[in-house]
Amino acid sequence: MNVKSIPISAWVGIVGIAIAVLCAIFAPLIAPFGEREIVGEIWLPAGGDFVLGTDNLGRDLLSRLIYGARTTIFVALAATVLSFALGMILSFAAAVMGGFVDQLFSRFNDLMMAIPTLIFALVVLAVLPQYLWVLILVMAVLDSTRVFRIGRAVALDVAVMEFVEAARLRGEGSLWIIFREILPNTLSPLLAEFGLRFAFSILFLSTLSFLGLGIQPPAADWGGMVKDNKDGIIFGISAALVPGAAIATLAICVNLVVDWLMKRTSSLKGGRGDA
């Protein structure tokens, strides 16, 4: 792989993600003010000391956006990684073992998917104690139903190939077949799905925060910030749009990178371009 072969669209995505990740890691160093520090009047317009203005309590919007990147990205990423670990292991097991195991997992998955995700999440989160890990876990479990679906479909496609049969005839165990024969051949669709699900996780987390069941105040997160500032819109104050734009930008950046990765991995040696 050489740097020149990366298309511009992917560069845009990479730069966008890099900025978000750097903000998340070095938030205390970059942010001009503290996360919870009230620094001025409420809903000050952009400019002057406050680059993006202040929010509904008079906190610096830019600083909160930078701190918010931290929570939002961490929670969304953790939930996506977990949901993939869970969904892929279960779906591959279902595809390789087949029969009863497959039926059990698949029907249970159908059952989970039959319940609207958002309502399910609201009910569960309202009952469970409000810890960050509970939030991550609930998001991961709910998302893993989607991963299971696609994981089982792609794994089944590969599991009927003759090289898998050859491995079975050799006497290989299920673990070898899953990790050495099937997994490498299903990576590109799953990678694409990972990007997509990560973007959805950000949106889902933002939705939950907006509804008050996600990240709890006063911690900053992008969805929560939209909620905090939504009333300003009535008075023509655009503070709510800033975190909203951040969510959209990150989701787009992730997809740009995933598109490129998918094209690259869909062929063995470096991808075949757009031809």
Q: What residues make contact with other proteins under the rule CB under 8 A? A: 2, 5, 161-163, 165-166, 168-172, 180-181, 184-185, 267-273, 275
Q: Round to whole Å and give the CA distance between 206 and 223.
A: 4
Closest approach of other proteins to the CB of residue 188, in Å:
11
Between 109 and 186, CB nearer to other proteins? 186
How many residues make up the chain in this entry?
275
Q: Round to whole Å and give the CA distance between 222 and 245.
A: 9
Cβ density class 79-114: b for 16+ within 10 Å, e for less: bbbbbbebbbebbbbbbbeeeeebeebbeebeebee
Closest approach of other proteins to the CB of residue 13, in Å:
21
Between 28 and 184, CB nearer to other proteins? 184
Q: Which runs of consecutive H residues, i.e. helices, occur in 98-161?
A: 99-114, 117-127, 132-159
Between 230 and 263, CB nearer to other proteins? 263
Do residues 162 and 137 make contact, with C-beta atoms less than 8 angstroms apart? no
Closest approach of other proteins to the CB of residue 95, in Å:
16
Can you tell me whether residue 117 is helix, strand or coil?
Answer: helix
Closest approach of other proteins to the CB of residue 100, in Å:
15
Between 249 and 265, CB nearer to other proteins? 265
Closest approach of other proteins to the CB of residue 96, in Å:
13
Between 36 and 263, CB nearer to other proteins? 263
